[in-house]
Amino acid sequence: MEDLFAVYGASGCGRGVMPLARQQLVQAGIAPERLVFVDDGLGPERVNGQRLLTYAQFLAEPAGMRHAVLAIANGTVREKLAARLAQDGVQSWSVQAANVVRMDDVELGEGAALSPFVTLTSNIRVGRHFHANLYSYVEHDCVIGDFVTFAPGVKCNGNIVVEDHAYIGAGAVIKQGVPGKPLVIGRGAVVGMGAVVTKSVPAGTTVVGNPARPLRAD
């Protein structure tokens, strides 16, 4: 029995990941018919020519192994769904564009989704279910946690730690840290689009602007 592959999430993020997944499978000699969208909230039977299944249908479809990449930008949702996949014996699947650049000594956790023109340079550790959207980069000696999301065009320079569940908005620039004293983006922090981050951001804090400062609630 042949394996079955899924892009979980058929909204904006999923529709961007699907062509990469399809290309990756075709290159591995696997028929694109073995690739489906899975979504818990969308109706039509096909999205951009690809079958759309509910999660229950995905589990019921005859298959050898089942594989899924979580193509949903919200890291908390990805964590919830990753637990569901693990419980049901579905393998976490990593998908990346053909033109992603990965240099030396890059450890990439399971379930990553790397969009076109992403670059990961050397000596980098990345946790589970990382999303790096179009044109983002991660420079040398960075440590990226689990369920971290980079919107398009994030510039994550050298010696930076990005803790679990941080979300970095489009076009944000993060100043490099120094060896042994990294700049830290804390757990669950949000960096607004276009922010210029010059110092560490505490866990759970949203920062915006240039230089980036905590968002005030007024």
Q: Is 43 in the site for ligand UDP (CB under 6 A)?
A: no
Q: Which lies closer to ligand UDP via its Cβ, residue 11 or residue 123? A: 11
Q: Which of 56, 50, 47 is nearest to 33 (CA)?
A: 50
In the complex, the smallest distance separating the C-beta of residue 73 from ligand UDP, rounded to whole angstroms, is: 4
Q: Which lies closer to ligand UDP via its Cβ, residue 23 or residue 74? A: 74
Q: Which sign, positive or negative, has the C-alpha torsion 162, 186, 130, 169?
A: negative
Q: Is 44 in the site for ligand UDP (CB under 6 A)?
A: no
* Count of residues in the chain: 218
Applying CB under 6 A, among 29, 41, 89, 179 the residue interacting with ligand UDP is: 41
Residues 130-169 that bind ligand UDP (CB under 6 A): none
Q: Which residue is nearest to ligand UDP (CB)?
A: 41
In the complex, the smallest distance separating the C-beta of residue 207 from ligand UDP, rounded to whole angstroms, is: 21
Q: Do residues 156 and 136 touch, judged by C-beta distance below 8 A?
A: yes
Q: How far apart are CA 24 and CA 36, in angstroms?
A: 14
Q: Is 20 in the site for ligand UDP (CB under 6 A)?
A: no
Selecting among 129, 131, 140, 165, the annotated active-site residue is: 140
In the complex, the smallest distance separating the C-beta of residue 196 from ligand UDP, rounded to whole angstroms, is: 24
Buried b (16+ CB within 10 A) or exposed e, 21-41: bbebbeeeeeeeebbbbbbee
Q: How far apart are CA 133 and CA 116, in angstroms?
A: 8
131 classed as catalytic: no
Q: Do residues 122 and 104 touch, judged by C-beta distance below 8 A?
A: yes
Q: Is 88 in the site for ligand UDP (CB under 6 A)?
A: no
Query: Residues in the site for ligand UDP, rule: CB under 6 A?
Result: 9-14, 39-42, 72-73, 77, 81
Which residue numbers are catalytic? 140
